[in-house]
Structure 1
Amino acid sequence: MSAAYAGYQAPAVTVSSSLPKRAGAAVLIVPVVSSGDDGAEQATAKVLAGPSLPAEAVGQIESALQALGAKGGAEQVTRVVVPALPVASVLAVGLGKPRDEYPADLVRRAAGAAARALNGTEKVLTTLSELDVSAAVEGLILGSYRFTAFRSDKTAPKDSGLREIVALSTDAKSAKQAAQRAADIGAAVATARDLVNTPPSHLFPAEFASRAKALGEAVGLTVEILDEKALEKGGYGGIIGVGKGSSRPPRLVRLTHKGAKRKGKRVALVGKGITFDTGGISIKPAANMHHMTSDMGGAAAVIATVVLAAKQKLPIDVIATVPMAENMPSSTAQRPGDVLTQYGGITVEVLNTDAEGRLILADAIVRAGEDDPDYLIETSTLTGAQTVALGARTPGVMGSDEFRDRVADLSQAVGENAWAMPLPEELKDDLKSTVADLANVSGSRFAGMLVAGTYLREFVPEGVQWAHIDIAGPAYNTSGPWGYTGKGGTGVPTRTMFAVLEDIAANG
Structure 2
Amino acid sequence: MSAPTPDLPELVLAGSVSTRADVLVIGVTSSDGTPEILAGDAPIDEAVLGELLDALVAVGAKGRGEELTRVPAPASLPVASVLAVGLGDADKIDAEQVRRSAGTAARALTGVETVATTLSAVDLGAATEGFALGAYTYTEFRSEKSAPKEDAQPVARVELLVPSTRDRAAKAALTRSVAIAEAVATARNFVNTPPSHLFPAEFAERAKALGEAAGLKVEILDEKALEKKGFGGIVGVGKGSSRPPRLVRLSYSSKKRKAPKVALVGKGITFDTGGISIKPAAGMEAMTSDMAGAAAVVATVVLAAKLGVAADVTATVPMAENMPSSTAQRPGDVLTQYGGTTVEVINTDAEGRLILADAIVRACEDDPDYLIDTATLTGAQMVALGTRTPGVMGHDEFRDRVAALSQEVGENGWAMPFPKELRGDLESRVADLANVSPHRWGGMLTAGIFLKEFVAEGVQWAHIDVAGPAFNTGGPFGYVGKGGTGVPVRTMLAVIEDVAANG
- The TM-score range, normalised by the shorter chain, is over 0.9
Equivalent residue runs for 1:22-421 within 5 Å: 22-37=18-33, 43=34, 45-51=35-41, 52-82=43-73, 83-99=75-91, 102-159=93-150, 160-170=153-163, 172-421=167-416
Q: Distance in 2 between matches of 1:235 and 1:4?
A: 31
Determine if contact 2:337/2:343 at 8 Å carries over to the other structure: yes
- 3-state DSSP of counterpart to 1:307: helix
Q: Distance in 2 between matches of 1:50 and 1:248?
A: 54
The alignment covers a number of residue pairs equal to 497
Show the counterpart of 2:426: 431
Determine if contact 1:27/1:89 at 8 Å carries over to the other structure: yes
- AA of the residue aligned to 1:168: L
Pairwise CA distance, 1:334: 0.3
- Judge which range, 253-262 or 294-303, deviates more: 253-262
Show the counterpart of 1:4: 2
Deviations 1:132-176 (A, max 9, x none): 111110111111110100111111112353232222222533111
Deviations 1:355-404 (A, max 9, x none): 00000000000000111100000000010000011000000000011110
The unaligned stretches of length 5 or more in structure 1 are 38-42
Q: Distance in 2 between matches of 1:491 and 1:346?
A: 32
Deviations 1:298-332 (A, max 9, x none): 00000000000000011211000000000000011
Q: Distance in 1 between matches of 2:433 and 2:105?
A: 51
- AA of the residue aligned to 1:157: P
Determine if contact 2:389/2:414 at 8 Å carries over to the other structure: yes
TM-score (structure 2 length as normaliser): 0.97
Identity %: 67
- AA of the residue aligned to 2:203: F
Deviations 1:26-61 (A, max 9, x none): 321100123533xxxxx4x33123342112321221
- AA of the residue aligned to 2:126: A
The unaligned stretches of length 5 or more in structure 2 are none
Q: Distance in 1 between matches of 2:366 and 2:40?
A: 50
- AA of the residue aligned to 1:87: V
Deviations 1:167-214 (A, max 9, x none): 222253311111110111011001100100001011000110011001
Pairwise CA distance, 1:472: 0.4
Show the counterpart of 1:496: 491
TM-score (structure 1 length as normaliser): 0.96
- Equivalent in 444, 452, 456 of residue 451 of structure 2: 456
Q: Distance in 2 between matches of 1:211 and 1:85?
A: 45
Q: Distance in 2 between matches of 1:93 and 1:397?
A: 32
Determine if contact 1:10/1:183 at 8 Å carries over to the other structure: no
Q: Distance in 2 between matches of 1:50 and 1:457?
A: 47
Q: Distance in 1 between matches of 2:392 and 2:357?
A: 17
Q: Distance in 1 between matches of 2:123 and 2:52?
A: 22
Pairwise CA distance, 1:335: 0.3
- AA of the residue aligned to 1:161: P
- Equivalent in 8, 16, 21 of residue 19 of structure 1: 16
Q: Distance in 2 between matches of 1:201 and 1:49?
A: 47
Q: Distance in 2 between matches of 1:340 and 1:303?
A: 27
Q: Distance in 2 between matches of 1:396 and 1:80?
A: 42
Q: Distance in 2 between matches of 1:378 and 1:351?
A: 23
Q: Distance in 1 between matches of 2:19 and 2:63?
A: 25
- Equivalent in 461, 466, 477 of residue 466 of structure 1: 461
- 3-state DSSP of counterpart to 1:96: strand
Pairwise CA distance, 1:462: 0.3
- 3-state DSSP of counterpart to 1:404: helix
- 3-state DSSP of counterpart to 1:274: strand
- 3-state DSSP of counterpart to 2:28: strand
| Runs of 4+, deviation exceeding 4 Å | none
- 3-state DSSP of counterpart to 2:89: coil
Determine if contact 1:13/1:180 at 8 Å carries over to the other structure: no
- 3-state DSSP of counterpart to 2:88: coil
Pairwise CA distance, 1:260: 3.5
- AA of the residue aligned to 1:23: T
Pairwise CA distance, 1:25: 4.0
Q: Distance in 2 between matches of 1:23 and 1:90?
A: 14
Q: Distance in 2 between matches of 1:277 and 1:7?
A: 26
Q: Distance in 1 between matches of 2:431 and 2:25?
A: 61
- AA of the residue aligned to 1:75: E
Determine if contact 2:39/2:119 at 8 Å carries over to the other structure: no
Show the counterpart of 1:40: none
Q: Distance in 2 between matches of 1:280 and 1:210?
A: 25
Determine if contact 1:423/1:454 at 8 Å carries over to the other structure: yes
Q: Distance in 2 between matches of 1:273 and 1:26?
A: 42
Q: Distance in 2 between matches of 1:4 and 1:49?
A: 41
Q: Distance in 1 between matches of 2:220 and 2:367?
A: 20
Q: Distance in 2 between matches of 1:295 and 1:488?
A: 12
- AA of the residue aligned to 2:384: A
- AA of the residue aligned to 2:295: A
Q: Distance in 1 between matches of 2:22 and 2:338?
A: 56
Determine if contact 2:129/2:177 at 8 Å carries over to the other structure: yes
Determine if contact 1:102/1:131 at 8 Å carries over to the other structure: no
- Judge which range, 47-56 or 264-273, deviates more: 47-56
